[in-house]
Structure 1
């Protein structure tokens, strides 16, 4: 704790050959030019990542804030994913492997930035899930907010200047129109149906409601087909993960062999130098 009650944390910075920390933070974090990293004394046993896997567009803030902890957790997660097996501390990782990990982290950052740029509509809900925002909007008198209310809350600019985009406004108007429609048989459409009709569908979650809400299948046969397809995708993902781990292990073994060869070459050079020194000493005597 610094004088005056202000708390400072170490800033995450990167060098060309290794990752280090500096005190205190002097500039904001940029995923395109500099990579946040951990110090040599930091154990590679951090807690899990934050619940949001989407890269935040908000720059890192000074002081002790949630953004700093989220960034640090994401970086440690990436380091743990690419570090050699059995490594407990950053100091035990060779410089060549550190550089390899650094490039992988930067590549993931570039991919996340590209994916973020492809989004047609950005929300202002932050890293909190949509279910949390929906619960916060609940009123004892009115009850649970409608789909349009939730969409409006998470797609309006925080400074009060209106919608985040014209597409978001058009989506809201479509939701209001669907909500106003009702039939004597089924009543008003459900929120899942509204979000599905306006925003489209995905197999693993409902757009606008997050992964806590699953799309409703039309029949038991459809549910069975979706379940089988999900199992196939999970199996393919597991196979891809295994192949990735094998590839990483192979690369690590190659680097280890190169390191052993370099050490052997250095040992031979040292022996030759000692032999030359002994020969010169005999001549002088």
Structure 2
């Protein structure tokens, strides 16, 4: 089985250096809430997050009592160490893996989480099959990068390490063709607080009441229009898509 290349490994080794803790936590809160929302009808005792980063999502899930036991996998030591330093009460272990082979036996977990990881993965179906091997349920969240004018933003996405792009329909198709049944899903917009932080802190744009008002207004207008115009428009406005799948006994028939 393939493993993450040394080039990608090196690129992510220093990814968590610096003082971006506040930004990562702010971004992670919405992601964690999306996970809770699609899993609201199911309770889990043993959870694995693959590609857990610095553990920001796990921190919220730990605080909210999402699971009795949580595990984390990462491809770089620096990230695994940051997860351990959070001292999460439900964290059993955080360790390294090669990016594809999950070092746990079949059916070890109730649910595996893959949040904002699949867009970085060279061989999507290999990791999805590993997730399915170790867990009955899988939660995947991806950014919705693919939209009109995407060709003009290629450098922007590549700068973030995004080598795959999805729409809700494309990710549903991918998962269904891997014999996974969809249990719940959700589209979401970037919260105004996150957009403001990115604009005024990350990008160092001058703060202004007018700019803040525009950010709040755009968010509210998209929410209202989405609720009025239906699923198709909601998905076009959305920034992320979260989906809960369940392993099935179906076999994929390829003709």
TM-score range relative to shorter protein: under 0.3
Relative to its length, the structure with more strand (as a share) is 2
Say which structure is richer in helix: 1
Please identify the structure whose Cα radius of gyration is greater: 1
The normalised TM-score by structure 2 is 0.26
